[in-house]
């Protein structure tokens, strides 16, 4: 079971993560949506496409742009459609 934990709270847990470039992508259904807040941040990856971000809000603390996903991944990254990855201090393992 792979878990994503931030501020001592489990944000996601799954036996079905996809690892891309060292990042675990969790199925959206296995991420606690109560901790996600939409962000305006976007980035572009030449082979995955355009990423959108979420802030994490946990027990009164906010982690800016700590989660990302690809709403419309390119064909080479279709395996991460409907999945979210974490960084910026989120413990994944």
How many structural domains comprise the chain?
1
CATH number for the domain including 27?
2.170.150.40
Whether residue 88 lies inside any domain: the answer is no
Torsion on CA atoms 10, 16, 17, 19, rounded to nearest 10 = 150
Tokens of 6: 């931030």
Task: Name residues of the chain where pLDDT drops below 70.
Answer: none
Residue 3 is predicted with a pLDDT of 98
Instruction: Note the pTM of the prediction, 2 decimals.
Output: 0.96
CA distance 23 to 17: 9
30 C-beta neighbours (distance < 10 Å), count? 17
Residue 42 is predicted with a pLDDT of 98
């Amino acid at each position: 079971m792979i878990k994503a934990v931030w501020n001592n709270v489990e944000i996601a847990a799954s036996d079905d993560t996809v690892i891309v470039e060292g990042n675990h992508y969790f199925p959206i259904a296995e991420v606690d949506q109560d901790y996600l807040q939409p962000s305006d941040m976007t980035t572009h990856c030449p082979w995955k496409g355009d990423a959108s971000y979420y802030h994490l809000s946990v027990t009164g603390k906010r982690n800016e742009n700590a989660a990302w996903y690809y709403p419309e991944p390119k064909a080479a990254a279709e395996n991460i459609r409907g999945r979210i990855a974490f960084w910026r201090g989120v413990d994944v393992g």
